[in-house]
Amino acid sequence: MIKVNIDDKEIEVEEGCNVLQACEIAGVEIPRFCYHDRLSIAGNCRMCLVEVSPGPPKPQASCALPVAEGQIIKTNSEMVQNARKGVMEFLLVNHPLDCPICDQGGECDLQDQSMAFGSSESRFLENKRSVDEKNMGPLIKTHMTRCIHCTRCVRFSSEVAGVDELGALGRGETMEISSYLEKTLSSELSGCIIDLCPVGALTSKPYAFNSRPWELTNTESIDVLDGLGSNIRIDSRGNEVLRVLPRINEEINEEWISDKTRFAIDGLNKQRLDKPFLKNDFGKFEEISWDMALNVIKNKFKNIKPSDLAALSGDLVDVESLYSLKMLFDKIGCNNIDCRIDNSTLGEGGRSGYIFNSSIAGIEDSDSLLIIGSNPRIEAAVLNARIRKRYLMNKYPIGLLGEKVDLTYDYSYLGDSYKDLDNLISSKNNFYKILKKSKKPMIIIGSGAVNNENSQSFIYKLREFAEEVGVVNSNWNGFNFLNTSASRVGALDVGFIPKNNGLNARQVFEASEKGNLSLVWLLGVDTEDVKRLKNSFVIYQGHHGDLGAHSADLILPGAAYTEKSSIYVNIEGRPQISNKAIFPPGEAREDWKIIRAVSEAVNFKLPFDNLLDLRNHIFNEFDYLSKIDQLSKTKWSKFGKKGITKNFVFQNVIPSFYMTCPISRSSETMAECMNAQKNNFKSY
């Protein structure tokens, strides 16, 4: 520890801190524009000047100055005040001062700091410079005349996102931030530069001029468009979601969110199901009342054998709804339920056999990594940024078994099939030795490795391999499954899988094609396979008119994640609550309420009447789900089944980052991103 004196107050700080960080520890606010805790130090703006002795008789940039024993630091002396006013005066020389029409107004660091540390007038009378706008794609709106050359956006793109597509041209006053010629931004995290920009040079193009910050209602919530469970803030006005921003959570998403999380929200207003619909004899949907819908279900359930029923759940379903539907089918005596629409067999063992055991933050503790059947850049962009962060720290060997793709960091390509994995295990090649020598090796298994008929024997072989090389030991568990679905872990937790010879998802589709199932209940299922259910009466419960609704006979309109208070369990097995920001449209209802009403109509009444009672039932049965925002200790168990594994190729399950669910497929913004991707992100 190092002792320093800050404004006549002596404190101790860790060696390696800079003066700015030391001042923050002491509770002293230091203005800054270019400095950011998660980026390299640039020292561009000079706003963070302080007086330090011993040292030169002039203010110094606190962000670039390491602390030293016995330093005396003054943050508010006359010299410092005059220096900061001078810097602010320079920063505003070319600034357009268009605060009333700037989208950043009210949330602008330059605006705030000019009021706190600036002067009321300027001595400069020269004409202001003007900078041409840049085409950065459908997501980022530019007003580069406002740019103060802090270079946060450049450093983020290079260091965190790992895509070098922004840079600086020119020097001094003529310097301009620009993307590469004829290219727009292609990173899955590009929207984060909007948050990082301390002025209004980079703003959200879809959100531009929609509202002012003080008009919005802020709701803390959870993202459900991938399995990560990124912490977000939903900003709404009236009954419309206008934007989504990240919340800081060091254990999950730090302060980043993906572009899909941020910009797909316009899909919440498109193709919504707001009334019950019934398909008539001519194959056309007719609007009906809730009473009529419940009566249709009642009549369908009469004289139907439990074995003739089935229920499948999709990717965006909350724990409460999954538990309610499972309880209803348990009361009916039907075991044909499944959440694994991708045909995986995860969940047929302990909890350690389907979660991210090391935790997301645990990536930074690992010292080697093997990725199997996954493209984390597409499947979980923020998690991939965490892997890149670990890669940049120091030597971090990474091996990939699967499709050869750009992950934004270097890796050893080991092949694309089970045969290549078997060869790695049996030959004990170089990467085997790397894993074996590592103290905390890690394996990440994607859905592309377990969505086939070989998955149980494959997982068994992989588990044995992990134990052999030390991926799992007394002090460490680096055996991780990367589930792409927000609902998958929660569904497996509450047991939404077939038991006692019940049909799994693949068998349900096959049985329906053969005419052996009378009724199939789709809870938010929107995959191509639903077209195979033509020989069954299909009830679709969900919030968008997507693939599931098109194949349905009866549609029950549900609520999206922004319209209900619900529990979601992320890939780590961490329960989190998404809070209600707006109300569902029209006659749409929260999914658990629909299931509760159906249970009463079919004479299998569920034992709860409100959300609190429902959650108490869940927590009594599954205690670890009551530990909101916490990770429960998971015991390592034996999972998988010993058997012969046929050779198969690992294929990534997500063809496009921008369209993976009904919300993103309904989004015009995501459609624009898709078009940009098809045109290779050309700027013209």
pLDDT-based confidence at residue 680 (cuts at 50, 70, 90): confident
C-alpha closest to that of 277 among 588, 599, 666: 588
Mean pLDDT of 598-609: 96
The 10s digit of each residue's pLDDT in 300-359 is 999 899 999 999 999 999 999 999 999 999 999 999 999 999 888 888 888 999 999 999
Taken as a whole, the chain contains a residue count of: 684
Residue of 273, 271, 277 lying closest to 290 (CA atoms): 277
Q: 126: pLDDT confidence band, cut at 50, 70 and 90?
A: confident
Q: CA separation (Å) from 182 to 134, 135, 165, 422, 593?
A: 10, 9, 11, 44, 51
For residue 33, the tally of other CB atoms under 10 A from its CB is 25
Tens of pLDDT, residue by residue over 543-584, are: 999 999 999 999 999 999 999 999 999 999 999 999 999 999
State how far the Cα of 483 lies from the Cα of 488, in Å rounded to an integer.
7
Residue 235 and residue 257: Cα distance in Å, rounded?
A: 15
Element spanning 473, H or E: strand 472-473
Query: For residue 174, how many other CB atoms are within 10 A of its CB?
Result: 9
Angle at alpha carbon of residue 515, lines to 514 and 521, rounded to 5°? 115
% of the chain beyond a pLDDT of 70:
100
Does pLDDT of 106 surpass 80? yes
pLDDT of 33 reads: 95
Question: Cβ distance 48 to 63 under 8 Å?
Answer: yes
Residue 174 vs residue 353, higher pLDDT:
353
Binned at pLDDT 50, 70 and 90, residue 684 comes out as low
pLDDT of residue 307: 94
pLDDT for the residue numbered 645: 81
Which pLDDT band, with edges at 50, 70 and 90, does 219 fall under?
very high
Predicted model pTM:
0.94
Yes or no: say if 659 and 674 are a contact pair by the CB < 8 Å rule: yes
Measured CA to CA, the distance from residue 494 to residue 489 in angstroms comes to 9
167: buried, middle or exposed (CB in 10 Å: 19+, 13-18, 0-12)? middle
Rounded CA separation 103/124 (Å):
26
Encode 628-684 in three state secondary structure.
CCCCCCCCCCCCCCCCCCCCCECCCCCCCCCCCCHHHHCCHHHHHHHHHHHCCCECC
Give mean pLDDT, residues 36-47.
93
pLDDT of amino acid 136: 93
The pLDDT tens digits for 521-541 are 999 999 999 999 999 999 999
More confident residue, 451 or 317: 317
> Could you give the angle at which helices 418-427 and 455-469 cross, rounded to 10 degrees?
30
Query: What does each C-alpha distance from 34 to 26, 102, 109, 197, 509 come to in angstroms?
Result: 21, 20, 11, 9, 56
Average pLDDT over residues 453-480: 92
Is 643 a residue whose pLDDT tops 90? Answer: no
Question: What per-residue confidence (pLDDT) applies to 125?
Answer: 81
Mean pLDDT of all residues belonging to the chain: 94
